[in-house]
Amino acid sequence: MVKTDILKKIVAKKKERIILAKQQLNEDGLKAKLKDLPPTRPFREIIGKPRQIALIAEIKQSSPSAGVIRQNLNLREVAMAYQEAGAQAVSVLTEEDFFAGNPAYLSEVKNVFSGPVLRKDFILESYQVYESRYLGADAILLIAGLLTKEKLAEFMQIADSLGLDYLVEVHDEKELKKALSLKIPVIGINNRNLKTLEVDFKTTEKLFTLIPKDKIVVVESGIKNSQDVLFLKILGASAVLIGTVFMQSDDIKSKVSQVMGW
């Protein structure tokens, strides 16, 4: 298998999963279940505080690029470690087939972690935006490279109506242009090319200067140590999204302190 096929495979599998989900609970049924849910926790507000760099700590068991990252994932344990370490928010990978995630993880993590929880998945249809709210997400990841401008605008509108925040992820200038044209408040720069899975920190250096100062910028992928975090803090990033280096650690809490310089 050539690496460039991976995103296509993920998307194809995700489309199958959406069909199955709709068979179990259609969109109207899903919307009906959203009526009495408790309010969401503020994601944008908590990661966008001035003069500090926030941590969105990620829970993921495996990935196509790294394979199995953490054997025998204990969700409660990891969420509690992030809570005790002082993470401002948690990102939960819910994609089942390539990242060993599960949509049910969102509510489990929310029972332990008191801050906002981001659903990280491959959102392709409006159904998944409603589903995210139902599952307990406070914010969702939207990948600019996977969505047309019209789709992005539609999903953002639905999210706004549901009280969901969103992190719109870009990897190149074209995707950034698309995001900026929609007046998106939180932009994620992913150093990982989702097609080849290669990570290049220069992506951040290149794109950061093109983003207006009033945006909340989250940097994702390839952040491994306190030097990386310090560089991004000086650059002016609002938050970092870090997963692998924590999930590989035997002592997550102390690893967070070490990497974040807390």
The set of catalytic residues is 58, 60, 120, 169, 190, 220-221
Residue 168: left if φ>0, alpha if ψ -120 to 50, beta else—which one? beta
Q: Which parts of the chain are beta strand (E)? A: 54-59, 62-63, 67-68, 89-93, 117-120, 139-143, 165-170, 186-190, 216-220, 239-242
User: Mind giving me the DSSP string for 54-74?
Assistant: EEEEEE-SEETTTEE-SSS--
Residue 92 · residue 105 · CB < 8 Å: yes
Q: Is 218 helix (H, G, I), strand (E, B) or coil?
A: strand
Residue 28: left if φ>0, alpha if ψ -120 to 50, beta else—which one? alpha
φ, ψ dihedrals at 216, nearest 5°: -90, 120
